[in-house]
Structure 1
Amino acid sequence: MAFSKLTLTCVFFYFFHFVQCDQSKPADNHHREHITNENFVIHRDSGDRFLVNFYGEGCARCEEYMADFNRVEETLRDAEIKMFDCNSKMVMQGLSVKRVPSLLYFRYGIPTFFDGVPVAEDIIEWVVDSHEVLTTELHDDTFEHHTQASSGATTGDWMVVFCIKAHADCTILLASLEHVALKLLNKVNAAWIDINHNPELKERFHLKKSTEILYFRHGNKYDYHLPDTEFSNLLAFASGAYQHSRADPVEPPKTPFDKVTEQIAEEIKPIENNQELPRDEPVEREEKEENLEVKVEQDGPQTPFFLIAGVCVSVVLALLFFLFFGRSSGGRQMKKGV
């Protein structure tokens, strides 16, 4: 049974107000499972809630941080939140984790990162606040309904990330977006779209790159123009820096009628431009010529037969005609002589 935000808050206050911790006890993380390059995707796609503590060998600050992370684990033991450690350089590089210690919190595959003071009290408060996913995944058939981007956006401003979910850079970008959503809660809506599975939106907004960010406000869209996608830049852009980008009117979504007329226009375009229609491939032409030769060969012997038969029938009919009318004429002459 999943714990609610209220339950986590109660656990937090109970632990720090009524449980005495031995601060002199050395940090021990040997009992925790490690995230590796081999098992990361399995855990990410499991749908579980879990925290990952990124640390480096020989990092003194990481050792101090480990003690606080142990206290967090003790506090959240009954909250159905798993705890992992990670010192894999490949995983950190894939997630763009550039410094240690660092902490990521995954919920249903969507991460968010901790940017506060690495002490147990602040970490637990952050876990409570980030318990639910704040960003929204949109699709071809839900985008306009949620954002109302082309009609004036009565649902508010939207910051939307277009990326390929299977890519590692998309995962860390979504973590930053999730943190923006937390910082600007009730001010800016945050959403993301997997462009590999939403071709209509990709075509509608003329997306060329694997990762693009758009800000929608009052029927206009603003392209992300800052040099990188660090959390601080994303937050600054959503907080007002979008105004330094050009405001382009949002194109309304295509109706079924629009799609049909476009398809017809594409089909008749070669005729209007007097373009030569596509010719058959050489192989196809050869096959057609061979089939024609076979047909001629099959039809050849049959033509004389039908011709001769027709002549014979005509001759027979002519003879019958003359015999019949000749006999009739002779009879009439004999009667006149009598």
Structure 2
Amino acid sequence: MKVKVVCKTINLCLIILISTGLVKCTIPQLDKQDFTSFLNENSLVLVLFKSSRDCPTCDVALENLEKTPQPELLHTEIVKKVVSDEEVAAAFGVTEYPAIVFYRKAYPALYHGELQSEDDVAEFVDWLTKAVSVATIELFEDSFEHLTQASSGATTGDWMVLFYTPQSEECIQILPAFENAAIRVKHWMNFAKVNIETNKKLAERFKITKCPTAKLFKQGKMYHYEPQKYDSHSLVSFVDGWFRNVKSVPVPREPSSFDLLTESIALYIKEQMASDNKLAFVAIVTGGVALLVALLALVLRKSKVERPKQE
């Protein structure tokens, strides 16, 4: 009890000292116009998003961020910055302040915890150690089945896959929280993403009609992510057991070469029927069918004539 009282007293003192200007924070501000270029120029960047309004908890988080040590065995320096631009914050799914986002080669991970005490600092350093490498795997049409083995038995483990498009602001906003969930469960669950703009066949295979859409692939079955809340807590809760509340469906098999051929033919016919050359196309097809029927009739007639001769 005494420890908690002391911690609260220290935090209160920090708020007073920072707000009155008696204690100066040395973490520099990062402006909106320099934000993207700075991320691209630095491998590891830690950004504290704080409200531009009065925010005592933001001040404490800022002070604790300044005291946060470099994780052991990490040789690349983590650069710390402060951002007070709410438009920039919103682009990375930040809706509450303070919020901390860790950028690894500009790829964001939204931290789920607080930074209000010394215990929080220790927990935060542990998270940083786990989060140094990007945990979300990018899947493509030529690697999806090989890596996930979704329809053949899933010997590579279970996969939580986010289908998204870079053109959607909502999709981009949830990627930092999705990445944080991937970090938290990376020792027992695979998290991945699929860009449906460049992987249209996967979008067709899994009938993706809106973005974002997430699906859990587990032991040959598929579970649609229904909560539609893409914070890290909800995502981790879903893969940790909440998926049992969702009806599973068989994983659609990967299209065979014959399936792709017939699909291509059907698509070609559909395109021709919708074009200005529709009548010419119908005439060619009709003529081709008539020719095939005539050839078939000729072959059958010839075989009937040859049978009596052989007898």
Normalising by structure 1, we get a TM-score of 0.66
Overall identity of the aligned pairs, in %: 27
1:175 Cα deviation from its structure 2 partner: 2.0
Normalising by structure 2, we get a TM-score of 0.72
Segment of structure 1 superposing worse, 209-218 or 46-55: 46-55
1:87 Cα deviation from its structure 2 partner: 0.8
1:116 corresponds in structure 2 to: 113
CA distance in structure 2 between the partners assigned to 1:270 and 1:117 by the alignment: 56
1:78 Cα deviation from its structure 2 partner: 6.7
AA partner of residue 81 (structure 1): I
AA partner of residue 51 (structure 2): G
Conservation of the 8 A alpha-carbon contact between 1:111 and 1:172: no
Match of 2:44 among 44, 49, 52: 49
Cα gap change, 1:27 to 1:79, in 2 (>3 Å): farther
1:26 Cα deviation from its structure 2 partner: 1.4
CA distance in structure 1 between the partners assigned to 2:50 and 2:153 by the alignment: 46
Map 1:14-53 onto structure 2 (within 5 A).
Answer: 26-29=23-26, 32-36=28-32, 38-44=33-39, 48-53=43-48
AA partner of residue 105 (structure 1): F
Cα gap change, 1:270 to 1:231, in 2 (>3 Å): closer
CA distance in structure 1 between the partners assigned to 2:71 and 2:151 by the alignment: 47
Map 1:225-264 onto structure 2 (within 5 A).
Answer: 225-264=226-265
1:157 corresponds in structure 2 to: 158
CA distance in structure 2 between the partners assigned to 1:264 and 1:239 by the alignment: 43
Give the RMSD, CA atoms, in angstroms.
3.0
Match of 2:62 among 62, 66, 76: 66
Alignment of 1:86 onto 2:87: no
The one-character-per-residue Cα deviations of 1:108-143 (angstroms, maximum 9, x if unpaired) are 332222223414333222211211112211111111
CA distance in structure 2 between the partners assigned to 1:56 and 1:266 by the alignment: 53
Please say which structure displays the higher CA radius of gyration.
1
Conservation of the 8 A alpha-carbon contact between 1:27 and 1:63: no
Map 1:176-325 onto structure 2 (within 5 A).
Answer: 176-267=177-268, 278-279=278-279
CA distance in structure 1 between the partners assigned to 2:277 and 2:191 by the alignment: 48
CA distance in structure 1 between the partners assigned to 2:69 and 2:172 by the alignment: 24
Alignment of 1:100 onto 2:97: yes
Q: Secondary structure at the match of 1:196?
A: coil
AA partner of residue 248 (structure 2): A
1:14 corresponds in structure 2 to: none
AA partner of residue 193 (structure 1): V
1:35 Cα deviation from its structure 2 partner: 4.3
The one-character-per-residue Cα deviations of 1:38-66 (angstroms, maximum 9, x if unpaired) are 34443455572211101123211211221
Map 1:126-165 onto structure 2 (within 5 A).
Answer: 126-165=127-166
CA distance in structure 2 between the partners assigned to 1:261 and 1:128 by the alignment: 50
Conservation of the 8 A alpha-carbon contact between 2:71 and 2:129: no
Conservation of the 8 A alpha-carbon contact between 1:138 and 1:192: yes
CA distance in structure 2 between the partners assigned to 1:162 and 1:270 by the alignment: 27
CA distance in structure 1 between the partners assigned to 2:82 and 2:124 by the alignment: 15
CA distance in structure 2 between the partners assigned to 1:212 and 1:35 by the alignment: 33
1:288 corresponds in structure 2 to: none
Conservation of the 8 A alpha-carbon contact between 1:270 and 1:277: no
**Unaligned ranges ≥5, structure 1:** 1-22, 281-338
Q: Secondary structure at the match of 2:191?
A: strand
CA distance in structure 2 between the partners assigned to 1:149 and 1:83 by the alignment: 40
**Unaligned ranges ≥5, structure 2:** 1-13, 281-311
CA distance in structure 2 between the partners assigned to 1:238 and 1:75 by the alignment: 29
AA partner of residue 278 (structure 1): K
1:270 Cα deviation from its structure 2 partner: 10
Cα gap change, 1:164 to 1:125, in 2 (>3 Å): same
CA distance in structure 2 between the partners assigned to 1:137 and 1:220 by the alignment: 21
Q: Secondary structure at the match of 1:34?
A: coil
Cα gap change, 1:82 to 1:218, in 2 (>3 Å): same
Count of residues in correspondence between the two structures: 253
Conservation of the 8 A alpha-carbon contact between 2:93 and 2:176: no
Conservation of the 8 A alpha-carbon contact between 1:73 and 1:83: no
1:334 corresponds in structure 2 to: none
CA distance in structure 2 between the partners assigned to 1:238 and 1:200 by the alignment: 25
